[in-house]
Amino acid sequence: MSQRTVYLYVLDTLADWEPSYVTAELNSGRFFRKGAPKLAVKTCALSREPVTTMGGLRILPDLTVEQIRLEDAALLLLPGGDTWLEPSHAPVLAKAGEFLAAGVPVAAICGATMALAQAGLLDERPHTSNDLGFLKQVCPGYKGEGLYQDLPAVTGGGLITASGMAPLEFARLILQRLDVFSEKTLEAWYNLQTLKEPQYFFALMQSVAPQ
């Protein structure tokens, strides 16, 4: 089975916690269902220079945005950060448009949703963000108010969006979209993370045990 790639865009001020739940599972594959597609998580940025996250971690990108290969892409993952409304991110927003046009999913959380709104990529797709009023205030070009959903995370039109307060809901929708967990595994994994009760740990282990 050929390996497909999840491209994680990294930028200075990246909110470390927002993509971490899903990247840990996609990279490790520890709870993947039998026959799930093999995935590689690769970081991409505007250049190969190191970026510094909000937590002070330095990341050396694997490749540049220009080097992204749409033909082997499984998902483009856009985490939050404090600089998303700066024009320097135009190349990755253009790439997001290419992904959506080609039917390859894009997942954006927190500040990344504002950049997508400003780029017009939320105008025709169900979506959410941190707050509709704030989104309209900071993104004067945004015309998608009628499709805004006041939910932690939303999927529609090949796009997954989430509030910065919902990294687990964001991860659940991505795992579901990529079809790497069984339904029982995904339910147990999410319940364990949110409810933190031992019964869901055992349910999770049972769901991936060899039959």
- Taking 80 as the threshold, does the pLDDT of residue 2 lie above it? no
d(CA 52, CA 59): 6
pTM: 0.97
Averaged pLDDT for residues 149-167: 97
pLDDT of residue 211: 72
DSSP state of 165: T
pLDDT of residue 1: 46
pLDDT of residue 5: 97
Q: What is 4-180's CATH number?
A: 3.40.50.880
Task: Kindly report, residue by residue over 48-77, the tens digit of the pLDDT.
Answer: 999 999 999 999 999 999 999 999 999 999
- Taking 70 as the threshold, does the pLDDT of residue 36 lie above it? yes
Task: Kindly report, residue by residue over 92-138, the tens digit of the pLDDT.
Answer: 999 999 999 999 999 999 999 999 999 999 999 999 999 999 999 99
d(CA 28, CA 44): 19
Cα dist from 54 to 16, 83, 85, 118, 178, whole Å: 6, 11, 16, 23, 28
Task: Kindly report, residue by residue over 181-194, the tens digit of the pLDDT.
Answer: 999 999 999 999 99
Averaged pLDDT for residues 139-143: 94
Domain boundaries, the chain: 4-180, 182-211
- Taking 90 as the threshold, does the pLDDT of residue 165 lie above it? yes
Angle at CA of residue 110, ends 66 and 129, nearest 5°:
115
Averaged pLDDT for residues 21-39: 96
pLDDT of residue 3: 78
pLDDT of residue 109: 98
Known catalytic residues are: 110
**Mean pLDDT, the chain, integer:** 96
